[in-house]
A and B are shown apart, each in its own frame.
Chain A
Amino acid sequence: MKGPATQKTQQVLALLNYLYLLAIMVVIAGILTAAMTLQYAKGELPCPLCLLQRVAMFGVCFGIIENFRRGFSYQNTGYSLLFTIFLLVVAVRQTLLDIYPRPGHEYIGSAVLGLHMPVWSIIIALCLLTAYAAKLAVLGGDEYLEEIPPNQFPLIGKLGDVASLYVIVICAVNFVSVVLQCGLEECHTFGYRLLQ
C-alpha cells in the first residue's frame, strides 16, 4: 500500500516524465521545421540519406505520440530508441561518405554553426540516446508511470496532443514533398521531378 507522500512523489515524477517527452518532441519538431524551412525558403533539396534522417526523427516522435495517446509504455520507448539508432547509423555513414570531399560527394546544404546536417544528426541522435539513458537512470524502476496516464495533467496532455498533431501534419507535408521531388523513382534530383 502506497502512502500519500509516495503517491505525491510518483505524481511529480510522472509529470516530469511527460514534460520530458514533450520537450523531446518539441525539439525534434523544431529541427524538422528548420530543415523544411531551408528546403522551401532557400531551395535546398534534401538528399536521400537526409530524407531517411527525417524519417528516423518522425519514428522517434511516433513512440512519444503513442505515450501521449495511450499512456506511458516502455514498448513506445523501444520504438523511439530503434529509430534513434537508425538515425545514428544513417548520419554516421553520411558523414563518413562526405568527410573526404570529392566529385559528387561533399556536404550539401547550408552549414548551421559550422556543422552540416549529417553531423548535426549524429549530435541529435547522441543527445536522444543520452536523454533516454539519463531518464532510465534517474527514474529507473518506474512501473507506476504506466498507471498514471497523461490526461491526469490536462495542460501537458493538451500540449502533447497539439505537438503530436503538428508532427503528423509536417510528416504528411514531407510525404507530399517527397512525391513531388522523387515521384516513385530514386531521389537523386536537382528539382521537383513532378513539377518540371
Chain B
Amino acid sequence: MLSTIMSYQPTMAAVFAAMVLALLSGWLNRPRLAVTCLLVCLILAIWQFLFEIYDPKTGFRMPWIQTQNEPTPRSLAAAG
C-alpha cells in the first residue's frame, strides 16, 4: 500500500512553479491566490521529500546508522 503510494512522484518543476506563482501573486497583491499556491507548494514539496527518502526495501528507516548498543563488560557479564 505504502510502496504503491510512494511510487507516484510529483515533479520538482511543479514545486518550483507553485513557489514562483506564490511569490508573484503576493507581489501583485493577490493574497488568497498567493497563500493557496504556497500551501500547494508545501504539500508538493513534502510529497517530493517523502518520495526521495523512501526506499522499497527499507522504507523510511536508515539501516546504515548503527543504533544498537555496543556490548559492555556489564552487559556481557549479565548475558552469562
A residues adjacent to B (C-beta < 8 A): 48-49, 51-52, 55-56, 58-59, 61-62, 65-66, 69-70, 79, 82-83, 86, 89-90, 93, 96-97, 99-100, 102, 105, 164-165, 167-168, 171-172, 174-175, 178-179, 182-187
A86/B26 in contact, CB under 8 A? no
Known: A62-B23, A167-B23. A175 touches B17 (CB 8 A): yes
B45/A168 in contact, CB under 8 A? no
A69/B27 in contact, CB under 8 A? yes
A70 to B38, CA, bound (A): 16
A96/B20 in contact, CB under 8 A? no
The 9 closest A-B pairs by CB, nearest first: A175-B16, A168-B23, A184-B11, A100-B64, A187-B12, A175-B20, A178-B16, A179-B13, A48-B52
Q: CB within 8 A of A66: which of B13, B34, B49?
A: B34
A51 to B52, CA, bound (A): 12
A56 to B49, CA, bound (A): 11
A175 to B41, CA, bound (A): 13
B11/A182 in contact, CB under 8 A? yes
A34 to B53, CA, bound (A): 26
B58 to chain A, nearest CB (A): 12
**SS of B interface (majority):** helix
Known: A100-B64, A100-B65. A66 touches B42 (CB 8 A): no
**SS of A interface (majority):** helix
Across the interface, which residues of A come within 8 angstroms of B62, CB to CB?
Answer: 96-97
Across the interface, which residues of B come within 8 angstroms of A102, CB to CB?
Answer: 64
A28 to chain B, nearest CB (A): 13
A97/B53 in contact, CB under 8 A? yes
Q: CB within 8 A of A182: which of B13, B24, B26, B34?
A: B13
Residue of B nearest to A164 (CB): B27
A70 to chain B, nearest CB (A): 7
